[in-house]
Amino acid sequence: MSQTIRNEASEDAVSLTDTTAQAHAEPLDLMAINRIAFQTIVRKEIRRFARIWVQTIVPPSINAVLYMLIFGSLIGSRISDMDGFRYIDFIVPGIIMMAVIINSYSNVVSSFFSSKMQNYIEELLVSPVSNLTIVIGYVCGGMARGLLVGSLVALVSLFFSEIRPVHPLVTISVAVLTSMMFSLGGLINAVFAKSFDDISIVPNFILTPLTYLGGVFYSISMLPPVWQTLSMFNPMLYMINGFRYGILGTSDIPIWTSFLVILIFIALLGTIAMTLLNRGTGIKH
Amino acid sequence: MNALSIAGLSKTYGGNVHALKGIDLDVPDGDFFALLGPNGAGKSTAIGIISALVNKTAGKVEVFGHDIDQEPEAAKASIGLVPQEFNFNVFEPVLPTVLNVAGYNGISRKVALTRAEYYLKKLDLWDKRKTASRQLSGGMKRRLMIARALVHEPRLLILDEPTAGVDLEIRRSMWEFLTELNEQHGTTIILTTHYLEEAEALCRNVAIIDGGEIVERGAVSQLLSRSMQETFVLDTRGNPDVAPELPPFTLRLRTENRMEVDVPHGHTINELFQGLSGQGIEITSLRNKTNRLEEFFLRLVKRKTGDGA
């Protein structure tokens, strides 16, 4: 067995081991290497956002509370029912989803870009870990933060709303897949980014507006036909409505269409991310 | 088997900057090898290609017989890299920095912890294991990169300017550590350095690279024997008014009670001393002006740029 794996198996391999040719004659156990490397990347990513929880966990949770307080309780109490639900109950799924989207994206874009800026991405590039493991590792790190913040927001929403998921499996699946999709998006953004401006442009000028226009605060059935048609081109609509279907059982979009759109985006972004890493775009000279 | 085999390696940046122009290089298993050259010669580019940080334009690289294109994982698993620039997460403490890289190399947490402790103690960093890397001194940062590069116990350790900015005492202790690694554990070591004294003291073989080409290679001892002359600094008792004429030696007055002398290849210090005694000049001490490899290197690079004879 290879030196690396031989040493993994050996519990007492403390000191410098022999480096004879025989010790390296057998092929590497790439499965084992990638499994441990994956665990390491995810652990590192979770440690990173946990270490700076004041920046990563608290602000999005406070934002969500403010949304629920202002749009839900204060203004919402004066707004009539939306699709047959109290306004606060209608917007809670969208607010949770916003948190999932923004946090999944931000985590990967910040972390991967920092590793490029400080060059410690090289620790991964010189190691025998595959590019697929790197992508999945970072994506899982982003999902961990997105879903953690999403869960916190959901927890907070219990103080403002009495909703319970009508379709728990759909709720969880949409959240997990959406989180995966935006983590991939964050990774691609980080690969191309050359400055800190480049990692804030997409979240601020694309993601946030599209989320607002994606039906967080209203049903698109309220819009004039032309805006309804335009809204169909907004991918956020499918995720927010898919999640709303899971929680409230109502949606502007058929649930399978939501799943299909999310899965197509995951496949597309995943392919782009792998192609970029295989080419070394933005990370190799 | 060669630890490293390079054939026809080229790298062109942006279509017109030829950093490497088809170099060939073999480093035998177990060697302690120096890659020397002036700034911008192509040393770091070569190291970047070997360790998968730079995409090559053409050529073939094998690490212990593993082609970096065909078997990149096996090639990378054999290499430990200590780059020239600090490349760790400055917010991460020392211990996790080493443990993360162990994990990327597929080393289980338990073994990684034991190894990290061993190498951090060996490199005097164990007491700093909980300190964020940005708070370390320059020498400590260098040693952290060495510990990190060794945690998967590579057969080939590549160090790009490992002792740059490190004080003399730490440099000496790093030399001892690297020598032990090479002699007792058989790790092949390739280093680039600006301190040619370092290459002369540590390395058995050397290649000199300049302008993207290898301009000289061979055993350090062999290159030194081809050196045409050596320059010494002499401290004298008494102060001659003019530099003594003593062919074939060339003497130059420097400061009070101090002169320099060029000793051509094939002539001895004894001849020099006899000649100076004959002129009534007493020598109180003698030392090399620069280290011998440095002198050879400078002459070679000067000759190439047309600055010297």
Query: Could you tell me the residue range of the domain that residue A138 belongs to?
Result: 32-279
In tens, the pLDDT along A177-203 reads 999 999 999 999 999 999 988 998 888
DSSP per position, A9-78: H-TT--SPPP--GGGG-SPP-HHHHHHHHHHHHHHHHHHHHHHTHHHHTHHHHHHHHHHIIIIIIITGGG
Q: Considering the domain boundaries, does residue A18 fall inside one?
A: no
* pLDDT band at residue B124 under the 50/70/90 scheme: very high
Q: Of B127, B104, B102, B124, which is closest to residue B112 (Cα–Cα)?
A: B102
Secondary element (H or E) of residue A5: helix A3-9
**What total of structural domains would you count in chain A?**
1
Claim to verify: residue B244 and residue B207 sit in the same structural domain = no
Kindly report the nearest CA distance between residue A118 and chain B, in angstroms: 6
Among A70-74, A208-212, B29-33, B171-175, which is the least confidently predicted range? A70-74
Q: Considering the domain boundaries, does residue A61 fall inside one?
A: yes
Claim to verify: residue B231 and residue B213 sit in the same structural domain = no
**Cβ neighbours for B183, distance < 8 A, ≥ 6 positions apart:** none
Claim to verify: residue B67 and residue B155 sit in the same structural domain = yes
Total H helices, total E strands in chain B: 10, 14
**What mean pLDDT is predicted for residues B107-130?**
95
Instruction: State CA A211 to chain mean position distance.
Output: 14
Kindly report the nearest CA distance between residue B300 and chain A, in angstroms: 30
In tens, the pLDDT along B212-236 reads 999 888 888 777 766 667 788 888 8
Q: Does A28 touch chain B (CB under 8 A)?
A: yes
Structure tokens at B180: 């032990």
Structure tokens at B264: 């051509």
Q: What residues does B216 pair with on adjacent strands?
A: B208
pTM of the model: 0.84
Claim to verify: residue B239 and residue B179 sit in the same structural domain = no
* pLDDT band at residue B250 under the 50/70/90 scheme: confident
Kindly report the nearest CA distance between residue B188 and chain A, in angstroms: 10
Peptide bond before residue A168 is cis, with ω within 30 degrees of 0:
no
Secondary element (H or E) of residue B287: strand B282-288
Tell whether the model's pLDDT for residue B295 goes beyond 70. Answer: no
Taken in order B78, B82, B88, B94, the sign of the CA dihedral is: positive
Kindly report the nearest CA distance between residue B178 and chain A, in angstroms: 12
Tell whether the model's pLDDT for residue B178 goes beyond 70. Answer: yes
pLDDT at A21: 37
Tell whether the model's pLDDT for residue B307 goes beyond 70. Answer: no
Claim to verify: residue B51 and residue B199 sit in the same structural domain = yes
pLDDT at A1: 33
pLDDT at B302: 65
Q: Does B264 touch chain A (CB under 8 A)?
A: no
**What total of structural domains would you count in chain B?**
2
Residue A203 carries which DSSP code?
A: I
| Residue B224: count of CB within 10 angstroms of its CB | 17
Among A131-140, A217-226, B27-36, B138-147, which is the least confidently predicted range? A217-226
Claim to verify: residue B241 and residue B110 sit in the same structural domain = no
CATH code for the domain in which residue B279 is found: 3.30.70.1560
CATH code for the domain in which residue B61 is found: 3.40.50.300
d(CA A152, CA B68): 46
Among A207-221, B11-25, B108-122, B126-140, which is the least confidently predicted range? A207-221
pLDDT at A15: 41
Residue B247, judged by CB atoms within 10 A of its CB (0-12, 13-18, 19+), counts as exposed
Q: Considering the domain boundaries, does residue A152 fall inside one?
A: yes
pLDDT at B226: 65
Residue A159 carries which DSSP code?
A: T
Claim to verify: residue B170 and residue B59 sit in the same structural domain = yes
Residue B280 carries which DSSP code?
A: T
DSSP per position, A208-220: HHHHIIIIISS-G
Residue at a domain's end among B219, B243, B278: B219
Q: Does A281 touch chain B (CB under 8 A)?
A: no
pLDDT at A17: 45
Secondary element (H or E) of residue A107: helix A87-117
Within the 113-172 window of chain A, which residues sit less than 8 Å (CB to CB) from chain B?
Answer: 114-115, 118-120, 122-130
In the three-class reduction of DSSP (H, G, I as helix; E, B as strand; rest coil), residue B82 is classed as strand
Q: Considering the domain boundaries, does residue A148 fall inside one?
A: yes
Claim to verify: residue B297 and residue B186 sit in the same structural domain = no
Q: Considering the domain boundaries, does residue A87 fall inside one?
A: yes
**Cβ neighbours for B232, distance < 8 A, ≥ 6 positions apart:** B260, B261, B263, B269, B286, B287, B288, B289
Taken in order A152, A153, A154, A160, the sign of the CA dihedral is: positive
What backbone phi and psi angles, to 5 degrees, belong to B35? Answer: -110, 110
Q: Considering the domain boundaries, does residue A2 fall inside one?
A: no
Q: Which amino acid is it at B211?
A: G
pLDDT at B227: 64
Structure tokens at B99: 């443990």
* Nearest Cβ partner for A28 among B73, B99, B100: B73
Q: Mark yes or no for CB contact A4/B81 under 8 Å.
A: no
Contact A102, A147 (CB under 8 A): no
pLDDT at A44: 96
Secondary element (H or E) of residue B97: helix B94-104
Q: Of B186, B143, B167, which is closest to residue B28 (Cα–Cα)?
A: B186
Query: Could you give the maximum distance between any two Cα atoms of chain A, in Å?
Result: 78
Structure tokens at A31: 């499965």
Instruction: State CA A231 to chain mean position distance.
Output: 22
Claim to verify: residue B240 and residue B149 sit in the same structural domain = no
Q: Mark yes or no for CB contact A4/B1 under 8 Å.
A: no
Structure tokens at A245: 């279907």
Chain B residues whose CB is inside 8 A of the A19 CB are: 153, 155, 185-187
Residue at a domain's end among B168, B193, B219: B219
Claim to verify: residue B161 and residue B235 sit in the same structural domain = no
% of chain B residues with pLDDT over 70 = 92
pLDDT at B133: 94
**What is the average pLDDT score of chain B?**
88
**Cβ neighbours for B89, distance < 8 A, ≥ 6 positions apart:** A114, A115, A118, A120, B97, B133
Claim to verify: residue B213 and residue B271 sit in the same structural domain = no
Q: Which amino acid is it at B265?
A: H
| Residue B59: count of CB within 10 angstroms of its CB | 16
* Nearest Cβ partner for A30 among B29, B73, B90: B73
Q: Mark yes or no for CB contact A24/B52 under 8 Å.
A: no
Give chain A's residues under pLDDT 70: 1-26
Among A114-128, B94-108, B243-257, which is the least confidently predicted range? B243-257
pLDDT at A7: 41
Q: Mark yes or no for CB contact B76/A27 under 8 Å.
A: no
pLDDT at B228: 65
Contact A118, B89 (CB under 8 A): yes
Q: Mark yes or no for CB contact B111/A119 under 8 Å.
A: no
**What mean pLDDT is predicted for residues B173-198?**
89
Structure tokens at A217: 């605060």
Q: Considering the domain boundaries, does residue A205 fall inside one?
A: yes
Residue B117, judged by CB atoms within 10 A of its CB (0-12, 13-18, 19+), counts as middle
pLDDT at A72: 77
Q: Mark yes or no for CB contact A130/B73 under 8 Å.
A: yes
Query: Could you tell me the residue range of the domain that residue B254 belongs to?
Result: 227-305
Q: Of B98, B90, B138, which is closest to residue B122 (Cα–Cα)?
A: B98
In tens, the pLDDT along B59-99 reads 999 999 999 999 999 999 999 999 999 999 999 999 999 99
Secondary element (H or E) of residue B252: strand B250-255
Q: Considering the domain boundaries, does residue A258 fall inside one?
A: yes
Q: Mark yes or no for CB contact B105/A127 under 8 Å.
A: yes
In tens, the pLDDT along A48-94 reads 999 999 999 999 889 888 988 888 778 888 888 888 888 899 999 99
Claim to verify: residue B31 and residue B180 sit in the same structural domain = yes
* Nearest Cβ partner for B101 among A10, A30, A127: A127
pLDDT at A22: 38
